[in-house]
Amino acid sequence: QGGGWRYKPKQDGDTSATGWQITALHTARAGGLAIPNATWVGASSFLDFVSADRGALYGYTTPTGKSNTTPIGLLGRVYTGWPLDHEALQRGVDMLDRMGPDDDNYYFNYYVTNLMQHVGGEKWTRWNQKQRDLLISQQDTTGVTAGSWYRIGTGNHTIERGGRLCCTALATLILESYYRHVPALSAEN
């Protein structure tokens, strides 16, 4: 509904569910599957709806510019065809670069890591070093939980409910971003 996705058919979209779908579509396209242009147009329309500050910030279901959903919206813009030098994209990336990784919010860090990897350059190098060092310092090293991650008190209900499994999965996805994603150089990629 409205070009975005949510948890049930015909619901108005939200940026979180839409971000996962756009990422899946980008991966499918990179794998050679044909995605109807109308799907990309709808996704872009949804991102237009939840964008603030002329496209530099993104809200969850409204254009409020929340920090958790801004990297999701910006990565969605890259996957739907914005060039990497787009002015609003660069303003949003600059803000995220100044913020740096969040000690407790692996969901936020996952999306910013993937966005920064596509942007490249000094911002990616700076983000990657901070993120990598943070994750290494937070990984459990003793007992039956050795090798896993667990951050509580994030305020993110998905991570709170997912516990150690969700934190470990997101930390692993962050660390393997170098190997999993085809660079988004254009909408045709």
Residues 16-33: tens digit of each pLDDT: 999 999 999 998 998 999
End-to-end CA distance of the chain: 26
- 159 or 188, which is more confident: 159
Angle made by CA atoms 131, 136, 141, in degrees to the nearest 5: 155
Residue in 14, 85, 151 with CA at minimum distance from that of residue 22: 14
- Of 183, 189, 187, residue with least CA distance to 77: 187
Residue 164 φ then ψ, to 5°: -60, -40
Residue 189: pLDDT over 80: no
Q: Where are the beta strands (DSSP E) in 14-168?
A: 51-52, 57-58
Write the DSSP assignment of 41-83 as a string of letters: HHHHHHHHHHEEGGGTEE-SSSS---TTTHHHHHHHHHHTT--
Please tell me the total number of residues recorded for the chain in this structure: 189
Does 153 score more than 80 pLDDT?
no
Q: What is the pTM of this model?
A: 0.91
| Cα 48 from chain centre | 17
The one-character DSSP state at 7 is S
Q: Per-residue pLDDT averaged across 135-149, rounded?
A: 96
Least Cα distance to 181 among 85, 122, 115 occurs for: 115
pLDDT at 117 over 80: yes
Q: CB count, 10 Å around CB of 42? A: 19
* Number of Cβ within a 10 Å radius of residue 159: 21
Residue 187 has a pLDDT of 44
Whether the predicted pLDDT of 75 surpasses 60: yes
